[in-house]
Amino acid sequence: MSDLSRPKGPKIIAVANQKGGVGKTTTTINLAAALAESGKRVLVIDLDPQGNASTGLGIEVEDREYTTYDLLLDDVNLNSVIMPTVTPGLLIVPATVDLSSADIELISNEKRSFLLHDALRQTPMDDFNLDFILIDCPPSLNLLTVNAMIAAHSVLVPLQSEFFALEGLSQLMLTIREVRQSGNKDLRIEGVVLTMYDQRNNLSLQVEQDARDNLGDLVFQTRIPRNVRVSEAPSFAMPVLTYDTASKGAEAYRALAAEMLKKNELKVA
Ligand code: ADP
Ligand code: MG
């Protein structure tokens, strides 16, 4: 790489929104798969005790011997905690319900907000040659999500195209502002992506209009349509890009990856 302004190492993106069911996990899995498909090396960190990203990427519960919990709180060998997935170039640190106790255990830890930051910057990480790390956050603004935001270069916000979608955003933006003041002053907003979009639904159009009026260029041009293949893919333990490679959902996530890569190139230039 000839660019010296850009720090060495992978770009770290926290996929966050404190509302549940807005498409965080779906976006993490499929954006990661689309980036991997385009030749990037991508690591997904499952930071949600529900472990949906792990399941959706084909890691069965009994195979999750080491997890994000160990990455945060134990001195664990990265080679045992970082696992391959069915998608070439796409790796994952899986999660189990253990992680729900981490939030409480972290409270008594002095470096509590920086654990993920430090884990992702340890030297052996370089051996994985990663281009991107995507962090699938839990549906709350708890210490786990703060860890993700302290560790990340940017936050990607999935916004479900439904009523009240924008209401939670001010709280999220406030948290981002606090993180900037408390330990990660360069944290950026990667963008806001409209999910489960239905062109025939007035509500979707309204949410899009509101989002673009309020957030301008932060809103990705690419919208992720509501697509049944997207919701089916996790039960087949694979990204929709593999499950139904020509589906509207797969195409949309490819377009999102391309748009994001282009935006990032422009920023570097
Ligand atoms: P979160 O991680 O924010 O809680 P999920 O990614 O788990 O949200 O999505 C919530 C639900 O919506 C899941 O059942 C998922 O399969 C479904 N879903 C997400 N995106 C789409 C989409 N584009 N089309 C259809 N269903 C979707
Ligand atoms: Mg989720």
Answer whether 82's CB lies under 8 Å from 92's CB. yes
Residue 122, domain extent = 11-263
Nearest to 87 by CA among 139, 28, 138: 28
Tell me, yes or no, whether 4 lies in a domain.
Answer: no
Tell me, yes or no, whether 62 lies in a domain.
Answer: yes
According to the model, what pLDDT value does residue 6 have? Answer: 46
Q: Which atom of ligand 1 is nearest to the CA of 19?
A: 3
Three-state SS at 130: coil
According to the model, what pLDDT value does residue 269 have? Answer: 60
What is the distance in A from the centroid of ligand 2 to the CA of 1?
A: 34
What is the distance in A from the centroid of ligand 1 to the CA of 42?
A: 21
Total number of domains constituting the chain: 1
Ligand 1 is surrounded, with C-beta below 6 A, by 20-26, 52, 139, 195-196, 224, 226-227, 230-231, 249
Pocket test for ligand 1, best of 134, 224, 231 (most atoms within 8 A of CB): 231
According to the model, what pLDDT value does residue 7 have? Answer: 56
According to the model, what pLDDT value does residue 109 have? Answer: 75
Pocket test for ligand 1, best of 15, 19, 22, 26 (most atoms within 8 A of CB): 26
Q: Which atom of ligand 1 is nearest to the CA of 27?
A: 6
Tell me, yes or no, whether 1 lies in a domain.
Answer: no
Q: Which atom of ligand 1 is nearest to the CA of 22?
A: 3
Tell me, yes or no, whether 6 lies in a domain.
Answer: no
Tell me, yes or no, whether 81 lies in a domain.
Answer: yes
What is the distance in A from the centroid of ligand 2 to the CA of 79?
A: 25
What is the distance in A from the centroid of ligand 1 to the CA of 118?
A: 30
What is the distance in A from the centroid of ligand 1 to the CA of 109?
A: 33
List the end-to-end C-alpha distance of the chain, in Å, as a whole number. Answer: 12
Tell me, yes or no, whether 116 lies in a domain.
Answer: yes
The CATH number that applies at residue 28 is 3.40.50.300
Quote the CA–CA distance of 75 and 96 in Å, as a whole number: 18
What is the distance in A from the centroid of ligand 1 to the CA of 23?
A: 4
Tell me, yes or no, whether 2 lies in a domain.
Answer: no
According to the model, what pLDDT value does residue 20 have? Answer: 95
Residue 16 CA: which ligand is closest? Answer: 1
Give the residue, by CA position, lying nearest to ligand 1 atom 1.
Answer: 21
What is the chain's length? 269
Q: What DSSP letter does each residue of 89-124 carry, written as one string? A: TEEEE---TTHHHHHHHHHT-TTGGGHHHHHHTSGG
Prediction pTM value: 0.95
Quote the CA–CA distance of 101 and 222 in Å, as a whole number: 37
Tell me, yes or no, whether 156 lies in a domain.
Answer: yes
For each successive 10 residues of the chain (269 residues), what is the average pLDDT? Answer: 60 97 98 98 98 98 96 91 97 96 79 93 94 97 95 97 84 96 96 96 92 95 98 97 98 98 83
